[in-house]
Amino acid sequence: MSSKNREVLVIGGGVIGLCSAYYLSQAGYCVRVLEGDSTSPMTSCSDGNAGMVVPSHFIPLAAPGVISQGLKWMLNPKSPFFLRPRLDLDLARWIWLFARHSNRHHVEDSKILLRDLSLESRRLHVELSESENYPLVQKGLLMLCQSEEGLEEEIEVAQRAHEIGLEAEVCHPQRLKDLDPQAHISALGGIWWPQDCHLSPENFLRALRQAVIRNGGEFIQNQALALESNHRQITGVKTDQGRTEKADSYVLAGGIQSTGLTRHLGLKMPMQGGKGYSLTTGSLTHQPLLCSLLKEGRVAVTPMGSSLRIAGTMEICGKNQSISRARVLGIIESFCKFYPEYSPEEFLNLSPWVGLRPCSPDGLPYLGKPSKHDNLVIASGHAMMGLSLAPISGYLVKQLISGETPCFDLSPLHPNRFG
């Protein structure tokens, strides 16, 4: 059967699902996207995220020092990290697996794959921005540090980046001012990552949706409840409207919701929701031109046209989407420390957006065909790298659906790697 006659159902309308639908529809497949009920609370972490494309992020979330730093932050209600305690076997297993992978050996095993995926995804981001006509700002990212310890840590990361061929420049305060002359930054120094980019997630998602529709794709606002299977085939997706959506092939890109859909298939794919918040301001005086990461507060700052998006926190919380006002205030206060011409009072009336990043316990996405189902491809678990890795993930999904040999060795990302 040619691609023109094959139907693919993509489960999930976030950035991974949309990129998958984009490349599949470009290849001639009949694509439908099951994106959930648009009137329900947001579970996608695509719309309000920081909009960063980051080849600089070659170190996975599970890395040395993450656990010890997280424990130090646990008692601070404004800190950028929190693990919500609860009696939950899935959470206990996730923590155990995360601890097992938070070591230098895992970082060494992962860095080349993450580098290569990120650089190819960046190339595809540039290609997409040109073909689908939305802005992609290619001016790099500033990692800003206010402490000697923080700066030393980031200089070490920059040195490791040089070893694998990534670009990074250690900057003193004057160099930071030269790179972003509009912004009034208070920092001891930082790192400039010239290969990083940023964009507006809203523009990106809108362009992808329009392209999928232009290519004949369809969007269905039903929530997936269960995957139906027979032997080695997925036979349909039961929805909250009492319908069963059927196709020849299926792509599961449902973010944190993917775990509930794979459980009865016997697929152990541990994930926890990593809650993050963002605030979007109006136009500010001395608005930054470059996106930045604020080291000590773990806050992301991204100019988006005449607006500025400030984002942060990582709350390991399952699927809880409640808003912690203390942590939102922590984000605001961290921003104001680095940009001292602003005071927290100026941002307190902004409504925070909240999203759940799908976090695997080794910090790597799930991408591939599960062992027991021939017509299913899974693409989830990207954590904070979803938007950055979305184009290459979508392209690889297209290769897997079409039976092509993937352009990367995906064995470290296999959906069955935890059993």
Strands 189-193 and 169-171: antiparallel
**What is the pLDDT at residue 79?**
87
Q: What is the DSSP code string of 51-116?
A: -EE-TT--S-SS-TTHHHHHHHHTT-TTSSEEE-----HHHHHHHHHHHHH-SHHHHHHHHHHHHH
* Average pLDDT over every residue of 204-227: 96
Count, residues in the chain: 419
Could you give the CA distance from residue 321 to residue 317 in angstroms, rounded to a whole number?
A: 8
**Residue 115: partners with Cβ closer than 8 Å, 6 or more residues away:** 55, 58, 164, 165, 166
| Cα 331 → chain centroid | 19
Burial 139-176 (b: 16+ CB within 10 A, else e): bbbbbbbbeeebbeebbebbebbeeeebebeebeeeeb
Q: Residues of the chain with pLDDT > 70: what percent?
A: 97
Say yes or no to pLDDT of 50 above 90.
Answer: yes
Q: Residues of the chain with pLDDT > 90: what percent?
A: 83
**Residue 198: partners with Cβ closer than 8 Å, 6 or more residues away:** 50, 51, 52, 53, 136, 137, 141, 291, 302, 303, 304
Say yes or no to pLDDT of 290 above 90.
Answer: yes
Say yes or no to pLDDT of 62 above 80.
Answer: yes
10 Å CB burial of residue 7 (0-12, 13-18, 19+) is middle
DSSP single-letter state for residue 412 = G
Instruction: Give the pLDDT confidence of 295-344 residue by residue, as tens digits.
Output: 999 999 999 989 999 999 999 988 888 999 999 999 999 999 999 999 99
**What is the pLDDT at residue 198?**
98
10 Å CB burial of residue 95 (0-12, 13-18, 19+) is middle
Please, which pLDDT band fits residue 43 given cuts at 50, 70 and 90? very low
**What is the pLDDT at residue 39?**
43
* Average pLDDT over every residue of 386-407: 97
144 three-state secondary structure: strand
Instruction: Give the pLDDT confidence of 170-208 residue by residue, as tens digits.
Output: 999 999 999 999 999 999 999 999 999 999 999 999 999
Could you give the CA distance from residue 414 to residue 416 in angstroms, rounded to a whole number?
A: 5
Could you give the CA distance from residue 205 to residue 165 in angstroms, rounded to a whole number?
A: 31
What distances in angstroms separate CA 66 from CA 17, 382, 384, one per listed residue? 29, 18, 15
Could you give the CA distance from residue 199 to residue 169 in angstroms, rounded to a whole number?
A: 22
Could you give the CA distance from residue 123 to residue 391 in angstroms, rounded to a whole number?
A: 9
More confident residue, 255 or 80: 255
* 103, two tokens: 């070591």
Say yes or no to pLDDT of 37 above 80.
Answer: no
Could you give the CA distance from residue 60 to residue 71 in angstroms, rounded to a whole number?
A: 19
* Average pLDDT over every residue of 238-244: 93
Q: Is the pTM of this model over 0.85?
A: yes
**What is the pLDDT at residue 95?**
94
**How high does pLDDT run on average in the chain?**
93
Integer-rounded Cα radius of gyration of the chain: 21
Amino acid at 137: V
Say yes or no to pLDDT of 249 above 70.
Answer: yes
Contact 48, 323 (CB under 8 A): no
| Cα 381 → chain centroid | 8
**What is the pLDDT at residue 85?**
80
Q: What is the DSSP code string of 117-132?
A: HHHHHHHHHHHHHHHH
Residue 41: φ, ψ to 5° = -55, 145
Residue whose tokens read 């957006």: 353
* 28, two tokens: 């001639």
Contact 223, 11 (CB under 8 A): no
Nearest Cα residue to 396 out of 120, 39, 111? 120
User: How many Cα atoms sit within 13 Å of 353 on the Cβ side?
Assistant: 18
Instruction: Give the pLDDT confidence of 332-386 residue by residue, as tens digits.
Output: 999 999 999 999 999 989 999 999 999 999 999 999 999 999 999 999 999 999 9
Nearest Cα residue to 342 out of 189, 187, 184? 184
- Topology of the domain comprising 3-413: FAD/NAD(P)-binding domain (3.50.50)
Instruction: Give the pLDDT confidence of 77-118 residue by residue, as tens digits.
Output: 888 888 878 889 999 999 999 999 999 999 999 999 999 999
Residue whose tokens read 């155990």: 96
β-pair partners for 229:
234
